[in-house]
Structure 1
Amino acid sequence: MKRRSRIRAALIWLLALGFAVVLVVAGGLWAIDFFKQPAAKLLQGCSAQVADQKYQLAPDQTENAALISAIALRRGLPPRAATIAIAVAMQESKIRNISYGDRDSVGMFQQRPSQGWGTAEQIMDPVYSINAFYDGLVKIPNYQNLTVTEAGDAVQRSAYPLAYGQHEPMARAFASALTGYSTAALSCTLDVPPASGVPDDVIGKLQTSFGSIGAAYDGTAIRIQAQDNAAWAYAQWAVSNAQKLGIVQVSFAGERWQRANNDGGANRGWQPADGASSQEVVIVLQATQSTG
Structure 2
Amino acid sequence: MGPVSEPTRPRRRGRRARYAAAFAVLLGLSAYVAVHQMTGSTGAPRCSVGDGDNRYEFTPEQASNAAVIAAVGTTRGLPERAVTIALATSLQESALRNIEHGDRDSLGLFQQRPSQGWGTAAQIMDPVYSSGKFYEGLEKVPGYSRLPLTVAAQRVQRSGFPQAYAKHEPDAALLSAALTGRSPAALICTASVAEGRPGDPEQVRRELVRSFGEKAVPTAVTGGPSAGRPSSEPPVLVVPVRGATGVGSAPGAGSDERRGWELAQWAVARADALRITEVSFGDRVWRAGEAAGGWSKSSPPGTDASVRLRLAR
TM-score of the pair, normalised by structure 2: 0.76
1:255 to 244, 265, 284: 284
Q: Tell me the residue number matched to 2:175.
A: 174
Q: Tell me the residue number matched to 2:93.
A: 92
User: Residues 50 and 185 of structure 1 are in contact (CA less than 8 Å); yes or no, is this contact kept in structure 2?
Assistant: no
Question: What does 1:193-204 correspond to in 2, within 5 Å?
Answer: 194-195=195-196, 196-204=198-206
Question: What does 1:1-292 correspond to in 2, within 5 Å?
Answer: 41-43=41-43, 44-49=45-50, 53-191=54-192, 194-195=195-196, 196-212=198-214, 213-215=216-218, 216-219=220-223, 220-226=235-241, 227-261=256-290, 266-277=291-302, 279-287=305-313
Q: Report the aligned-residue RMSD.
A: 2.9
Offset at residue 125 of structure 1 (A): 1.8
Offset at residue 268 of structure 1 (A): 4.1
Which is greater in Rg?
Answer: 1
User: Residues 45 and 58 of structure 1 are in contact (CA less than 8 Å); yes or no, is this contact kept in structure 2?
Assistant: yes
CA distance in structure 2 between the aligned counterparts of 1:177 and 1:52, rounded to whole angstroms = 17
CA distance in structure 2 between the aligned counterparts of 1:57 and 1:190, rounded to whole angstroms = 13
1:116-165 residue CA offsets vs partner (Å, 9 max, x unmatched)? 21222221222211111001000111111111101100100110011101
CA distance in structure 2 between the aligned counterparts of 1:118 and 1:81, rounded to whole angstroms = 21
CA distance in structure 2 between the aligned counterparts of 1:141 and 1:59, rounded to whole angstroms = 34
User: Residues 108 and 129 of structure 1 are in contact (CA less than 8 Å); yes or no, is this contact kept in structure 2?
Assistant: yes
1:235-292 residue CA offsets vs partner (Å, 9 max, x unmatched)? 001101111111111111111111114xxxx2440011122325211111111xxxxx
Shift of the 86–194 alpha-carbon distance from structure 1 to 2, 3 Å rule, reads farther
Q: Tell me the residue number matched to 2:244.
A: none
* Structure 2: runs of 5 or more not aligned: 1-14, 224-234, 242-255
Amino acid at match of 1:147: P
User: Residues 193 and 312 of structure 2 are in contact (CA less than 8 Å); yes or no, is this contact kept in structure 1?
Assistant: no
1:171-211 residue CA offsets vs partner (Å, 9 max, x unmatched)? 11111111111100001112565441111111111111111
Q: Tell me the residue number matched to 2:250.
A: none
Amino acid at match of 2:213: G
* Structure 1: runs of 5 or more not aligned: 1-18, 288-292
Question: Number of residue pairs matched?
Answer: 262
CA distance in structure 1 between the aligned counterparts of 2:31 and 2:91, rounded to whole angstroms = 27
Amino acid at match of 1:246: R
The worse-fitting range, judged by mean Cα deviation, of 99-108 and 49-58 is: 49-58
Shift of the 238–158 alpha-carbon distance from structure 1 to 2, 3 Å rule, reads same
Shift of the 286–191 alpha-carbon distance from structure 1 to 2, 3 Å rule, reads closer
Offset at residue 54 of structure 1 (A): 2.0
TM-score of the pair, normalised by structure 1: 0.81
Q: Which has the higher helix share?
A: 1
CA distance in structure 2 between the aligned counterparts of 1:50 and 1:42, rounded to whole angstroms = 18
CA distance in structure 1 between the aligned counterparts of 2:67 and 2:140, rounded to whole angstroms = 23
CA distance in structure 2 between the aligned counterparts of 1:286 and 1:98, rounded to whole angstroms = 28
Shift of the 164–258 alpha-carbon distance from structure 1 to 2, 3 Å rule, reads same
CA distance in structure 1 between the aligned counterparts of 2:179 and 2:98, rounded to whole angstroms = 19
- Give the fraction of aligned pairs with identical amino acids, expressed as a percent: 44
Q: Secondary structure at the match of 1:281?
A: strand
Q: Secondary structure at the match of 2:302?
A: coil
User: Residues 194 and 248 of structure 1 are in contact (CA less than 8 Å); yes or no, is this contact kept in structure 2?
Assistant: no
CA distance in structure 2 between the aligned counterparts of 1:203 and 1:72, rounded to whole angstroms = 19
1:28-62 residue CA offsets vs partner (Å, 9 max, x unmatched)? x989x889977872332111127973211111011
